């Protein structure tokens, strides 16, 4: 049984939602993550990713995305109702716990 699942509704998928976060959201750099946060129109937090090819090949980008998504899953119950867009800069892949700490710092939980 999975306690912390991430539904498709908890992912930012529409380009208009990404644009809203980029233009009107608060921007904060935390380590290799550039975080854009904006109040969500939904009663739950959502996350989206912008990982350019300069970060690495598809395997590296997907590994980073999976670990950030898992970090979000594990802490979503503690997050306010915000949309988070993560723009990733080149770096060595971190553990899920390290990404959790970065996201928590970026949204002001630490």
Q: pTM for this structure?
A: 0.89
The single residue listed with the structure tokens 């971190």 is 94
User: What topology is assigned to 12-107 in CATH?
Assistant: Ribosomal Protein S5; domain 2 (3.30.230)
Closest CA to 13 of 42, 34, 53: 42
pLDDT for residue 4: 59
Walk along the chain (110 residues) and give the pLDDT tens digit of each residue: 445 568 888 999 999 999 999 999 999 999 999 999 999 999 999 999 999 999 999 999 999 999 999 999 999 999 999 999 999 999 999 999 999 999 999 998 86
pLDDT score, position 1? 40
Helix (H, G, I), strand (E, B) or coil at 65: helix
Domains of the chain: which residue ranges?
A: 12-107
């Amino acid at each position: 049984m999975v306690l912390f699942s991430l539904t498709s509704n908890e992912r930012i998928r529409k380009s208009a939602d990404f644009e809203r976060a980029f233009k009107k959201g608060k921007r904060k750099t935390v380590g290799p993550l550039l975080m854009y946060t904006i109040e969500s129109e939904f009663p739950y937090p959502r996350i989206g990713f912008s990982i350019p090819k300069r970060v690495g090949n598809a395997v590296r980008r997907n590994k980073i995305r999976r670990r950030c998504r898992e970090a979000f899953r594990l802490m979503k119950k503690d997050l306010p109702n915000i949309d988070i867009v993560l723009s990733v800069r080149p770096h060595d892949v971190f553990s899920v716990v390290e990404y959790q700490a970065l996201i928590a710092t970026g949204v002001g939980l630490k």
